[in-house]
Amino acid sequence: MQIFFFLIAFLVTYFPVSACAQAEAPGPGFHPYISVVEEYNDNINLTSTNKKEAFITTVRPGLKYTNMDAAAGIELDYSAGFVYYGKETDNNYVSHNASLTAKYLTRSHFNFYLKEYFIRSDEQREQEYFTTVQENKYVLATREGRAVYWRNVVEPTVEYQFGREDRIGVNYRNNIYRSEGRTYEDSDENYINPYIDFWFDQKNGLRLEYGYTMGEFERSPDMNAHMGKALFTHRVTSQTSIFTGYTFARRMFDPPDVDYDVHEPVVGMTHAFSPTVIASAQVGYFWKEPETGSKTDGVSYRASITNLGARTTYTFSFQGGYNEDYFTSDNLGFNRYHRLTGSLTHFLERRLSIGFTGSVERAEYIDTDREDWIWGVGGNLSYTPLKWLTISLEVSHRENDSNIDINDYKENRGIIRLTATY
């Protein structure tokens, strides 16, 4: 706590005035920043009994860089967090967060893209990679106890554009997960994904893609997987499109795991209510056919609405069907699920905003006779007293109610965060 309040005083008193002018128009170039975070957590290990509380101080310097324009450039964001636990000092560690987006569009219509995501953390619930904070989506696997892990995901894409919206390309993903926890499983994923988009005219388009996955696991049987997908889209108007598609997936494992196939036809639509409000909905049916054992089937669905207004932004999604939890700390495998997520941010005035997040998820694990209700709510208040300084308050509650008692937990958090940006 003493470190936290000392740094507050330092930032407010000594941060250079020139940073204020820079913040008015950050533009391209390098932009260093530093955040100081004080957190109270009443269940740092996410256990159902013998809960431990802690004050956690994090000092996080970082650097952003961008030179992105319409044809080429990169966007980079990296920060290192020096994390100090008030009592459980054995948990002290250094975290890392990095993201990279790059593109290069050539005059010969060959386009190159690159995305990279890196995290080193001891957070028990891991956010789905390549999502934003506003999407509020997490993998199902949850670590009990504070165990540091790291994940690095690299996705290069190359494509040739032979029409206004016609293109053929290939995407590759390398996904590495490593954990220092003895009970959690390291994994490596290599995925290759060729695709083609072809529009017969301005209203009718077809996308075809194939995916091949090679999965290596520390203890679980290794996996090879195939995926094929066809999606036809018809534009009814400039604001509304309807689509239908079919996806086939085959998962093959080393013994003793059982291979299985998944089929899923869908129909759906997208509609733009305005330039800032976009909604989509789809419904389908899936069935899993294992080589041995009983068939699993059900309705799949997905709906979302997003608003990117000047004062108010929100995104809400409702989805369900089947999910596959691989390349995570637990590798929970195939499951049926239902998930509702949402977030909203509203600017009360130019420098003051308030936000809310919420999620609830029902997961049924087919092979382990386990069922979980996972839910959480949160709120935050953000204020920018100076153009280079932001102060935010965050509170959250999350909970898991499982038919297996050892997986139950309740957690409450309160966070004060200060961020200075040059």
Q: Model confidence over 287-324: pLDDT tens digits? A: 999 999 899 999 999 999 999 999 999 999 999 999 99
**At 136, is the pLDDT very low, low, confident or very high (cuts 50, 70, 90)?**
confident
pLDDT (mean) for 278-285: 98
- Residue 24 confidence (pLDDT): 41
**At 138, is the pLDDT very low, low, confident or very high (cuts 50, 70, 90)?**
confident
The answer, yes or no, to whether residue 243 has pLDDT greater than 50, is yes
DSSP secondary structure string for all residues of 317-346: EEEEEEEEE-SSSS--EEEEEEEEEEEEEE
The answer, yes or no, to whether residue 9 has pLDDT greater than 70, is no
What are the φ and ψ backbone dihedral angles of 180, each rounded to 5 degrees? -85, -10
The answer, yes or no, to whether residue 219 has pLDDT greater than 70, is yes
Range of lowest pLDDT (114-118, 316-320, 367-371, 391-395): 367-371
DSSP secondary structure string for all residues of 254-294: STTSPPEEEEEEEEEEEEESSSSEEEEEEEEEEEEEESSS-
Selection from 304, 282, 267, 7 nearest residue 135 by Cα: 304
**At 182, is the pLDDT very low, low, confident or very high (cuts 50, 70, 90)?**
confident
**Sequence-separated (6 or more) residues with CB below 8 Å from residue 284:** 264, 265, 266, 267, 299, 300, 301, 321
pLDDT (mean) for 354-368: 93
**At 3, is the pLDDT very low, low, confident or very high (cuts 50, 70, 90)?**
very low
The answer, yes or no, to whether residue 8 has pLDDT greater than 80, is no
pTM: 0.88
**At 26, is the pLDDT very low, low, confident or very high (cuts 50, 70, 90)?**
low
